[in-house]
Amino acid sequence: MSECLFCKIVDGTIPAAIVAESERALAFYDVAPQAPVHVLVIPKEHITSADEVASDHGGVVDDLIMLAQRVMDDEGVRQQGYRLVLNVGPDAQMSVAHLHLHVLGGRRLEWPPG
């Protein structure tokens, strides 16, 4: 998937502000943060969206969530709480076709979201 922006971040051909990684996941700051802490956690493997996740991906979403926990711990906001968001498809305004977990925290977040 050489045309995929987030695959290029995984392979290092496009720079990103990487904050953490695990065997199968990578975390980096979102370039247009919507909260004081806004990190994207992605699988290193190309998966187009959450709608494509299947049992043969072997618990990859667990890996994303566990890396998000570690990042929010490191950022000092885990105890206060945070939001995990997976946008899927055009109505959710998904703009990068590589599964990514938005991890937002560091302030009181509106609910319901806009």
Active site residues: 100
Which residue type is seen at 87?
Answer: N
CB atoms near residue 39 (< 10 Å): 27
List the strands of the sheet with 37-43, edge to edge. 18-21, 25-29, 37-43, 101-105, 82-85
Which one, 69 or 87, has the nearer CB to ligand AMP? 87
Compute the radius of gyration of the chain from its Cα atoms. 14
Which one, 40 or 67, has the nearer CB to ligand AMP? 40
Q: How far is the CB of 51 from ligand AMP (least distance, A)?
A: 13
**Residue nearest ligand AMP, Cβ-based:** 87
Q: How far is the CB of 65 from ligand AMP (least distance, A)?
A: 16
Which one, 10 or 16, has the nearer CB to ligand AMP? 16
